[in-house]
Structure 1
Amino acid sequence: MHALIASPFLDDYLVLKPDSQQAVKIGARKFDELLTTSADPEARCPEWLTDAARKRWDLDIVGRHLAEAVKVRTPSSYGYGRASYELNLGCNYDCEHCYLGQKKFEGLGWRDREALLHTMRDAGVLWLQLTGGEPTIDKLFPQVYNAAWDLGMMITISTNGSRLHSSQMFALLTERRPYRITVSVYGATAEAYDGLTRTRGSFKAFTTGLAAAHEIGLPIHLNLVITKHNAHELDAMKAFAEGLGVTYNVYSNISPTIHGGAETLPSQSPEFLRERKPFTGCGAGHTHFHTDPHGMASICKVGRDPQVSLVEHGVEGLRTLAEVADSLMLRTGGCSGCALSGTCWTCRPLAKLYQEAKSPLDRYCQHGGR
């Protein structure tokens, strides 16, 4: 089991520790040395690498075989560094604000999932987000996690935290620690939390799971999700995060569903509708992509149409995404010719969903008068 990962990442070459936020940037020459040397099962870790590992992570790999201690990733010509993968849209909560809309329990079988992960590896994906629905309730989550970890990916799990205390999950994440566990927080009390999730006992499951993960020092980040049901507890939610000593973000803008449904919008807390920063572009479709439970790839979680089947086309299917991304970002369908487009707050795919949901302009557009 590798202790480090050496990999190209866009225009750089990095050495990383699977559960660390820190990295060592190396040049092409040193990476090529690792790539060549790793083919020899008897070759030892070079001195410059053992010194860097000790200095950066206090990690001792002196005398270890390079092929065993370091997962050296083969360079890819496809140029992708990140991806997100929805294992399943099913969830054990029933949150009113959920952008997925109808949460169906369905997805690929193991052979197709395994092939999909190899496709992501071949595309150059180094950072992989496992998400859902709730990914940890997916029956194949352990297999997916182990395979991605073995392929040398830096894994982020986006979860509600309700299953982190299970014996299987505890053992898995202790032995093979993730890069990050991002846990959504829906309240500071059982009344608010269970009310938002519409699931009795969800607050207890969340706090139990989070306590278990925190106790063994897993890398936790919290997303504080604010709706009209829990807005009064924002200060308490912040205090909770700060008491744990973990990083957190506050998310308060409620989006339509991925199908352009408006059923999520009533959960918006008007006083917490914040003004977004101007959208100046992103790497969606160019340097990162999203894959749904059926292996259909899109530029991101929002811009899901058109899609390409990675099960059918493999890694070659990704060659179409850059062109798709450029076409989706054009200001069309109600936004073309807008005098404020240069400082627009919202990317075109997200604006399209708001328009399909017949959302009030102030939720996504400067013409809303805010």
Structure 2
Amino acid sequence: MNQPVKGNAMSFVDRSFALSHRFGYVAALGMLVGACSSPTPTPTASPSAQASGNDYTVGMVIVGPKDDGGWNQAQYEGMQEVVQKVPGVKFDYVDKVNPADRPNVKGAQVADELIGKGAKLVIFNSDDFKDDALATAKKHPNITVVHASGDYAWKDGKNFKNQPNLSNIMGRMEYGKMMAGCAAALGTQTGKIGYLGPLINDETRRYASAAYLGAKYCWENYLKKKPADLKFKVTWIGFWFNIPGVTLDPTKVVNDYFNGGYDVVMSGIDTPEAATETKKAAAAGKKVKYVHYDLKTGCNLAPDVCLGVPYYNWGLPYTDAVKKAKDGKLTSEFVWLGPDWKDINSPDSMIGFLPGNALGEQKATIDTFIKGLGDGSVNPYKGPLNFQDGSAYLKAGETATEQQIWYMPQLLAGMEGSSK
């Protein structure tokens, strides 16, 4: 399995070639964690983890609803796995910590409350919380702080902070997005793929670009079609899911794609509008399909029109981090885990991809693509590749470094959509 990255950059064609989160303010859904059924301006931690003297309590600050069908649910379920696997661990959390649901409440304030209730390790689950995580680590030097995404613990990154009790954990979802893009290319009949994006930053450009690279590779190499006949458009809604009056409505974005001749929509947001709207459109007679994101069970929402879902297995790195922290052995580290190429859908794989029913006979083709990614014979991150403005991303024969992948300043040439 790929090892955690803790320092030196590696070539993208390395066995764990270098290939992600969370930035967005997320809006209202669901109930206040644990205690209340409606949002309130002040956070209330879940009462489910009242620590005894022998308990090791892990607190999590969750940017969106814990049952959002995507990123936040996957993280929440990952911590449920940890509780089952590691004796003596209790889990406490506050979800919907974002300006839409809790104006003027910062992640660091929520962390203070969790620590006051006995948390010894605090996980911040969004890139939105990068400065809250750093502030918490500085304020509480005896508390272990983990930030899911972010790069402050990456010694070879651009933003390294020498904070001994702060770690970053992320998955190499670039692999998953390339698989998803390949599935989209294999599933389209019109050659027009729409990508439902959140807000715009390095990570989201990185993920959308990875999806495009996977689609482009499979379109040209397996379907033997002309590059110019593939249309790949990104529409950014503005946040990780719909905030009425603030973001674009993802429901409308999906339907605009379908009404414009796009027959596959890929989701890059936390919530399941791509699935629900594709299901409705298919029921109305349109030949359309979707690719879910984040959560392993994403195809269950509309299995007959799902091409697949790339997902994170958060239970894997969180179990390792909690065990180390509980034993007093977790020091600052930057962990960026990819698939276990022996079986990408095993419990030992941080990144997986489950093909959907709509792939049909093309499942064998995507299996070939995945095998090539794993053994290095397929590397879409190899030049020549240009950015949207025509400047070089990778020169001919050049393979991307980890830094070139993580810090993605533009979308790639061949993609339609804004880079900023």
Which of structures 1 and 2 has the larger relative contact order (alpha carbons within 8 angstroms, sep 6+)? 2
* Structure with a larger share of its residues in helix: 1
Which of structures 1 and 2 has the bigger CA Rg?
Answer: 1
The answer to whether TM tops 0.5 is no
What TM-score do the two structures reach when normalised by structure 2? 0.26
What TM-score do the two structures reach when normalised by structure 1? 0.29
